[in-house]
Amino acid sequence: MNLPDSSSNSPSPSSAPAAGPGIEVQKPATPSPPDAEMIKGPKSRFSELCTLFRIMADFIRGLRVLHFVGPCVTIFGSARTKEGDPHYELARKMGGALAELGFTVMTGAGPGIMEAGNRGAREAGGRSVGCNIKLPFEQSENAYLDRCVTMEYFFVRKTLLMKYSYAFVVMPGGAGTVDELFEALTLIQTGKLAHFPIIIMGTAYWKELLEFVEKMAREKMIGPDDLKLIYATDSIEEAIKHIRNHAIKPFGLKTMVLHNYSWLGERGLRR
């Protein structure tokens, strides 16, 4: 292998060439997202205080927008799944079935599986809401939302997706979906969240992950009862029955009407 001579006079990668014919001037770096700024490390006391106020403002905005959504079921899944894909159609049907059961369907507000879940709820005449995230590559809201809020911080968004939900439906997805699955599982396992059902759909896709969870139980990294926290099925009917038995009945869910006050700038959600 021939390596470049370190004594050559070629410019270092860090040196910025002067602008001139045929030379592309490097564009300024895009601003870091709020999450990246927050976890960079210690900053001045004033800067840390400003960060706390920004986080609080993010929570307040989310809480105000989502206050009237009612009992939800959150559907997690990939933003890359296209209409016509079997998983898209499964999420669409599941969204409709959840709406018919009386739940508001909540998603991350983006395209793909999220769009499918919201679309199914809207087509069934139910309520459909989303909690979006501001990203360097903009994730646009899907067209099937009755109410949506866009957050600055990922952890605030995840908190809100958990806060209003009495069950979680996990469709095929990538790293973000796996993160959301295990976040819900950990919160329930540790008693930080009530024992709400977690339903995994698209079982062929999740086959290796489900086997890995079973391996964790065999290796005594989790308890055998933790396996009962996940219910895997591709049947809409079985999923709805599981939610009815493990969310509606145990928690006594019923339709609630929360009154909004226009003088506070509040907006109710259609019933």
Are the C-beta atoms of residues 82 and 88 closer than 8 Å to each other? yes
Please report whether residue 14 resides in a domain. Answer: no
Q: Domain count of the chain?
A: 1
pLDDT of res. 38: 86
H or E element, residue 36: helix 34-38
Range of the domain at 74: 56-248
Q: From CA 178, how far away is CA 88, in angstroms rounded?
A: 17
Q: Is residue 264 part of a domain?
A: no
Q: Are 145 and 121 in contact (CB under 8 A)?
A: no
Instruction: Return the pLDDT at 39.
Output: 86
- Residue 262 falls inside a structural domain: no
Given a contact cutoff of 8 angstroms between Cβ atoms, the answer to whether 144 and 155 are in contact is no
Residue 194 lies inside a defined structural domain of this protein: yes
- Could you tell me which residues are beta bridge partners of residue 187? none
| pLDDT score, position 196 | 94
Q: What pLDDT is attached to residue 6?
A: 42
Structure tokens, 114? 């999220």
pLDDT of residue 143: 96
Q: How far apart are CA 60 and CA 56, in angstroms?
A: 6
Q: Is residue 6 part of a domain?
A: no
The pLDDT of residue 89 is 98
- CATH number for the domain spanning 203: value is 3.40.50.450
Q: Is 127 domain-assigned? A: yes
pLDDT of residue 265: 66
Give the residue ranges of the chain where pLDDT is below 50.
1-29
16 lies in some domain: no
Please indicate, yes or no, if residue 44 is contained in any of the structural domains. Answer: no
Q: What is the pLDDT of residue 179?
A: 97
**pLDDT (0 to 100) of residue 30:** 58
Contact 227, 157 (CB under 8 A): no
Distance CA 115, CA 186 (A): 26
pLDDT at position 270 is 60
